[in-house]
Amino acid sequence: MPDESPERKPASSWTQERQRSAQESLVRSSDDDFELASRGLIAPGSPRQVIGRYGQPVWDLDAYEFLDDADAARNPPNTVSPSLWRQGRLNNIAGLFEVTPGIFQIRGMDISNVTFIAGDTGWIVVDPLTSEETARAALAMVNEHRGERPVHAVIYTHSHTDHFGGVYGIVTDDDVRGGTVAVIAPEGFLDAAISENVLAGTVMIRRAMYMYGVLLPKDPTGHVDTGLGKGMPGLPSVGLCPPTLSITTTGEEVVIDGVRLVFQITPGTEAPAEMNIYLPDHRALCVAENCTATQHNVYTLRGAQVRDALLWSKYIDEAIDLYGAEIDTLFASHHWPRWGNEVINEYLASQRDAYRFVHDQTLRLANHGLTMNEIAETLELPASLGEEFFNRGYYGTVSHNAKAVYQRYLGWFDGNPAHLHPHPPVAAATRYVEFMGGAASVLEQAQRYYDLGDYRWVVEVVNHVVFADPDNVAARYLQADALEQLGYQSESGPWRDFYLTGAMELRSNGTVLKGLPGNALGSGIVRSMTPELLLDLLGVRLNGPRAGHFAIEVNLEVLDRATESWTFGVANATLHSRRARRVPRPDVELRVSMGHFAAFASGSKSLAELVGEEFQVEGDRDRLEEFISYLDQFQFGFEIIMP
Ligand SMILES: [Zn+2]
């Protein structure tokens, strides 16, 4: 009989059986990751709670204490994949570590690592974490244990928030403007950092809440680990200090505070702008996020442009070729370092081959006519790669990375015209349920498959019942139960968090985020944005069908960017814009500061609130008001698991 209750359930007998065989497959002749993750410990993570601006814990080591239970080390709870449990325990080893003399890392105090390189008189900081709060705590910790030193440089290895967002916990704008701190990043960093999260910002952040399980309780039936690190900081203060030095070529050498840094740029790998850093005097290589103790994402499930697995593999090979003979230490901005020339070269080669294998084999099978889902179902790493823990699917998986490669080359369409123009979810669901003999009949049969442990099939068919009738409580609860077992079985942190968040929202009859404004651009990010990006954002917010025959032409002058003027307008229910142009008879002339224009473009302030010294309007103000009335406001609270 269906168990119609909204409570979280224990692991089914099928799930328990799966965990048992997964546990057996984990036994290796050698597993030194726990030794590597603990090596060089100077001090355990402190403070236990890093408190944020609302009094909330931005980081909370106590929340994950359940992973460190000595008994749980031997007997993982059967609601967690034993492999993910192992990864979660490794990511829970938090503290200040010596990587090699002169290089220190704080790990386990944010989703990412921050690295401190000791110069003659100060610190060079590589990747200042996600939040100002955790970055400030990290700097205090390294100063406490290794002596107080000023920060001379900050290096961003790449354009993802968890590698720059905490910068203002470490430096101030005055330090950077005054030239006492250099900020170094790969070419294209700023554009990549701010564009990725803006135009598709609301939907991407909403999906990220699923991917990182931010709404789930942290416990053995909830969020355990992201695979890449413990979790996302809670309501962090995020900023972006623009780089003062862009690295454009591989081999470029910079000396800071007596430390030689040689860069290898690797654009288009894990991020659009990324670079590795070779430290010849330390015989050490920082591989940014190009190599970590997991198979990474060729496609990230929160949604982003798909990455190039072939290029990624080739840049790892270039790193081996350039530096392989001259390194004894390898570290990255997630997970633990590796030591020893042979070990490092084997590790790099193995990761190189894992990305290349997924790329090549996906296309080989596609050229045989297999489609995306068929390839994902078929593909498996060869034992020589797949048995390495660091190639396993804790974050990315072979399954969704194979689909990513297919998508990159062939797109969403599998070539079967039956899939060219299907009914959208609700219309299809209604028809499916009718054809399958009605909701009661579907649920009865789905329950049979649930009892047989075929949760993948249950979620596929019951999804139709939920989309045909979201008020069908029995359907929602059965769907939640099946998603939950899939979550328990997942080795990948993001898969687990997606499944469990879906189950949670089905049980609570939808998202708790209803009404929460989306696309809130933090002021720390906004000041680095370009007018062009904000104009593009206005275009995305314009409600085409409502704008109808509306037309407007605006001349825009950006006060704090002396040379920047723009013209933009609306025609054909579409926004257009041009740089360095003015129309002769505009409807409106705007003279604005970037901050105020960002507030206008993101819709965080009304025209009445904006108008003043930093937002001067001349001309037809009514028409400007009408334009604003056609701009949509986004909200995070849209449903994903229900119609
Ligand atoms: Zn990262």
Q: Could you tell me which of 520, 490, 486, 514 has the C-alpha nearest to residue 642? A: 514
pLDDT band of 224, cuts 50, 70, 90: very high
Give 256's strand partners.
Answer: 259
Phi, psi of 572 (to 5 degrees): 55, 35
Handedness of CA 601, 604, 607, 612 (dihedral sign): negative
Residue 415 confidence (pLDDT):
96
Q: Say whether pLDDT at 458 is over 80.
A: yes
Check residues 101 and 598 and name the one with the higher pLDDT.
Answer: 101
Residue 1 above 90 pLDDT?
no
The answer to whether 259 and 119 are in contact (CB under 8 A) is yes
Under a CB-based contact definition with an 8 Å cutoff, are residues 329 and 282 in contact?
yes
Tens of pLDDT, residue by residue over 621-635, are: 999 999 999 999 998
Contact 234, 57 (CB under 8 A): yes
Between helix 201-211 and helix 493-507 the angle, nearest 10°, is 100
Q: Residue 151 and residue 156: Cα distance in Å, rounded?
A: 14
Residue the block writes with tokens 């680095």 = 528
- Supply the pTM of this predicted model: 0.96
Burial class (CB in 10 A: 0-12, 13-18, 19+), 178: exposed
Report the distance separating Cα 107 and Cα 232, nearest Å: 14
Q: Give distance in angstroms: CA of 294 to centre of ligand 1.
A: 12
313 by Cβ neighbours in 10 Å (0-12 / 13-18 / 19+) ranks as buried
Q: What are the pLDDT digits (tens) for 516-559? A: 877 666 666 767 788 999 999 999 999 999 999 999 999 999 99
CA of 126 to the centre of ligand 1 (A): 12
Quote the ligand 1 centre to 334 CA distance (angstroms).
7
Q: Which residues touch 276 (CB under 8 Å, ≥6 apart)? A: 157, 263, 264, 266, 285, 286, 287, 288, 290, 319
Rounded Cα distance, 530 and 422, in Å = 39
41-50, 63-72, 394-403: lowest mean pLDDT where?
Answer: 63-72
Rounded-to-integer distance, Cα 492 and Cα 68, Å: 20
Output the pLDDT for position 436. Answer: 97
* Per-residue pLDDT tens digits for 229-252: 999 999 999 999 999 999 999 999
Average pLDDT of 478-498? 98
**C-alpha distances in Å from residue 348, one per residue of 9, 288, 322, 382, 387:** 41, 13, 12, 16, 15
Q: What is the pLDDT, as a whole number, of residue 520?
A: 60
Ligand 1 geometric centre to CA of 291 (Å): 11
Beginning with the edge strand found earlier in the chain, give each strand of the sheet holding 259-265 in spatial order: 253-256, 259-265, 275-279, 284-286, 329-331, 338-339
% of the chain with per-residue pLDDT over 70: 98
Average pLDDT of span 608-626: 97
Q: Could you tell me the distance, in angstroms and rounded to a whole number, from the CA of residue 276 to the centre of ligand 1?
A: 14
Distance 122 CA to ligand 1 centre (A): 25
pLDDT digits (tens, 9 = 90+) for 151-165: 999 999 999 999 999
Statement: residue 30 has pLDDT above 80? no
Instruction: Give the model's pLDDT for residue 475.
Output: 98
Q: How far is the CA of 309 from the centre of ligand 1 (A)?
A: 17
